[in-house]
Structure 1
Amino acid sequence: MKTITLVITLLCLSLSGIAQNNAKKEFEKKYGALVKEIMNVREQKDYKKAEKLNWEILKLYDALPQTLQERARQIAGLTYYDLACYQSLQGKKKAALNNLEKAFANGWSNYNHAKSDSDLDNLRKEKRYLEVLSKMRLDSDYLYILQQANEYNRTETKPVCHNESLTDTLPRFTYMNPNDSNLVYLRKHFNLDSIAGSGDEISKIKNLLYWVHNIVPHDGNSRNPEEQNTIAMVELCQKEKRGVNCRMMAQMLNECYLAMGFKSRYITCMPKVMINDCHVINAVYSNTLDKWLWMDPTFNAYVTDEKGNLLGIGEVRERLRKNEPIVLNEDANWNNKNKQTKEYYLDYYMAKNLYYVTCPLRSEYNAETNYPGKKWSMHISLVPEGYSTNGKSGATPYDSHNDLYFWQSPYQE
């Protein structure tokens, strides 16, 4: 991947949400022209000219008002990285190392890209290069970060409570009865029995996954609907020709599983440090396998071991930590457009988002719809020893370090 491609991509991300004003418009106009010129001279391998043009970008950035500089800081990081690349290609090692360090200081920390970028081959043996790469790794090598996490504590008998009024005993997980009137109506409304099919338990679990994946598109940038249940969200998406985010899709699948008598939860998978997003998937309990299973309606995904045995979220996380074999289903995809690979979906994206997980204690219909008299469920997080959600984005009232508790059988007394 050429660095200039990253610059163009990150421009939109860095400046999105900035109020339209003359300074922003002028910057975008000049920046776009410089980017096109850099692309042309790079193709001609005129690295000296490319270096000069990147200095021009930094001058533009430095001339921005402070508020715009702060929001577009990634552009500075990317430009310093590009400077390091073009200087390395010219044999300017000291200057390249200086700018690689500045790139990291300005928020550029794509470890895997820097490690494999041939533009930096001249720097590979330099001590300063190795030092900055080690810092990048701690920021953005998500599989490595996950593997460095502490173990769980299976002897823990009390949760960590971030609210003094809460219980000091491990709270129970509960699951709405399929005879609840809302779930009965949902089952009949969509004829979920027909969708699940007449096969074995696993085929029913998968068929419901496929149905939710296909009934509405995923749109991670969509606004959350006011009424967050399966029927309302399907009708809204069809009426407005829109999608919903991963959290809404997981809630839909959760309701379908509950309606069909499965014990199920929607699980928010979180990074160690919130960077750009998290991801929400489902854990559904298989009675025939006596275990929780990973089901992801956003990506039509489930995971097995090398022998084809279905895995749960906890098992996938542990296998990633130990570099043990895991297999992504062949038909995993995004919106039936982009095929997912094990290397991206599991080794990168979900490795980032499995540092800790969180879910409501009550699994129910309309779990996050706000209505008069609503009784909100408490949430609990499963975190590695030495980590706390307190004060962080996505903090929960309870933390637990005990994975056996968190992934206990729903039939456990």
Structure 2
Amino acid sequence: MRILVCILFIIWNISTINAQITMDEVKKYFTEQSRLVKQARDAKDYQKAEEVDFAMLRAVLSYPEDIKKKISPIKGVLYYNIACYRSLLNKKEKAVEAFALAVENGWTNFAHSKKDSDLDNIRSDKQFIALMEKIQAENDYLNILAKAGGYNNSVDSLLPKFTYSAPNDCNLVKVREFFNLDSIAGSGNEISKIKNLMYWAHNAVRHDGRSINPELKNAIDLVNICRTENRGINCRMIAQILNECYLAMGFKSRYVTCLPKKYVDDCHVINMVYSNTLDKWLWMDPTFNAYVMDENGTLLGISEVRERLINGDFLQINEDANWNNKKRETKEHYLDYYMAKNLYKMECVLHSGYNTETQITGKPSPATIIIYPSSAQEIMDKQTGITDNAEYFWQPPEN
């Protein structure tokens, strides 16, 4: 299975490159080349697909150093694709050579490499096996998550409680009225309102993971600056928007920074919103328009998803989960790879309210709590603001 959309995701997610070459020119080139690769792949003309990928690789390598640095992840993806085509053409030695270059240039997706049938022709090769062991050690995220260990679930009354601004807070009232959130949420049941607000936040702004955060980080100002400057914002800012909208509508909500054991490329910020109907927290991700369900279609929370990933239990995401309405998300990539990486530890602010992230002179930084698995060194060191107490971290909100 070749990774075409990954190339376009990297390109689309870069705002500017260099005065010598415009972003539109780069996007146009890689979009057209990716179309040619898809045509060749669909026709099973793997030789042609390899040639086009090499052309893209040469283009990347010909750019000035500052450009190459910004789009460097593409090299690993292109070499991986080339390894796939060579394997399918039974050019085993050359395929292993390309796979080695993929790893050398940042290819880390062990889960995908493990199940990709395109590479079956080289799976018995000793060098390929060694390369797979190398990326597994640091990038088999499901395995790392499974080995992380559990939590201490005893109640600790000494830890401060999580608190939430009430919907009658004057600023949250402004948010509710400004966006006409009652109309957006609709007149359906609680779950439909929660989903509708998440859908709206996903479509209200564009995700741009490399953007610089605006100075003002509340829902109204974030949406306004995206509209006036035709710009995107990162996942943290999108989660701020949804968090304030949930609070404005009377839902208890937190934004959660989901972090890997070792920083790899990025982390991710999503929302947890409390459902009185289901009597639990629910996973809502406005960046990817995603929520997670069990085999019965029941919505799940972050702690439930993490436990099910570790145990290998059934999980599914909604069919319309996507990135910027351009790239459809799959359960395999979103949960088994991306979020498995980012669910090793999680961080929340102690008070969830309006304008939390905006830095104002004299305003203290928001207090946070990070939850680690009990085996983590940070827990043994007992650092301030860190816990391994799951019952505390996921405590239901007080009415």
The TM-score by the shorter chain falls in which range?
0.7 to 0.9
SS in 1 for 2:261: coil
Distance 1:7 1:266, change over 3 A: closer
SS in 1 for 2:263: coil
Establish whether residue 170 from structure 1 lines up as the match of residue 149 from structure 2.
no
Q: Which runs of 5+ in 2 are unaligned?
A: 21-29
Q: Which moved more, 1:330-339 or 1:173-182?
A: 330-339
Distance 1:224 1:100, change over 3 A: closer
CA distance in 1, matches of 2:240, 2:206: 14
Q: What is the Cα deviation at residue 318 of structure 1?
A: 0.9
Q: Which runs of 5+ in 1 are unaligned?
A: 22-31, 159-168, 391-395
Establish whether residue 110 from structure 1 lines up as the match of residue 97 from structure 2.
no
Establish whether residue 179 from structure 1 lines up as the match of residue 176 from structure 2.
no
The residue aligned with 1:133 is: 132
The residue aligned with 2:329 is: 340
CA distance in 1, matches of 2:275, 2:227: 31
1:409 to 386, 392, 396: 396
CA distance in 1, matches of 2:368, 2:19: 39
Preserved contact between residue 254 and residue 273 of structure 2 (Cα < 8 Å): yes
Preserved contact between residue 268 and residue 281 of structure 1 (Cα < 8 Å): yes
SS in 2 for 1:195: helix
Q: What is the Cα deviation at residue 45 of structure 1?
A: 7.6
Distance 1:217 1:115, change over 3 A: same
1:359 to 348, 359, 362: 348
Structure of larger gyration radius: 1
The residue aligned with 2:386 is: 399
Cα shift readout 1:350-400 (whole Å, capped 9, x = no counterpart)? 22221221111111100011113212211111111222569xxxxx95221
Instruction: Give, as a single letter, the amino acid of the residue that structure 2 aligns with 1:132.
Output: L
SS in 2 for 1:179: coil
Q: How many equivalent residue pairs?
A: 380
Cα shift readout 1:301-359 (whole Å, capped 9, x = no counterpart)? 21121112111111111111111112212222223333322222222222222122111
Distance 1:293 1:91, change over 3 A: closer
TM-score by length of 2: 0.76
Preserved contact between residue 267 and residue 358 of structure 1 (Cα < 8 Å): yes
TM-score by length of 1: 0.74
Instruction: Give, as a single letter, the amino acid of the residue that structure 1 aligns with 2:358.
Output: T
The residue aligned with 1:242 is: 231
Establish whether residue 281 from structure 1 lines up as the match of residue 270 from structure 2.
yes
SS in 1 for 2:133: helix
Identity of aligned residues (%): 52
CA distance in 2, matches of 1:76, 1:333: 24
CA distance in 1, matches of 2:185, 2:9: 42
Q: Which moved more, 1:338-347 or 1:111-120?
A: 111-120
SS in 2 for 1:188: helix
Instruction: Give, as a single letter, the amino acid of the residue that structure 2 aligns with 1:279.
Output: H
Distance 1:282 1:201, change over 3 A: same
CA distance in 2, matches of 1:315, 1:7: 28
The residue aligned with 1:29 is: none
CA distance in 2, matches of 1:406, 1:156: 10
CA distance in 2, matches of 1:196, 1:10: 30
Distance 1:226 1:130, change over 3 A: same
Alignment RMSD, CA only? 4.4
Instruction: Give, as a single letter, the amino acid of the residue that structure 1 aligns with 2:140.
Output: D
1:138-153 equivalence runs, <5 A: 138-153=137-152
Cα shift readout 1:24-63 (whole Å, capped 9, x = no counterpart)? xxxxxxxx9xx99xx9xx998889x99xxx9xx99x98xx
Instruction: Give, as a single letter, the amino acid of the residue that structure 1 aligns with 2:137.
Output: L
CA distance in 2, matches of 1:71, 1:338: 21
1:255-404 equivalence runs, <5 A: 255-388=244-377, 397-404=384-391
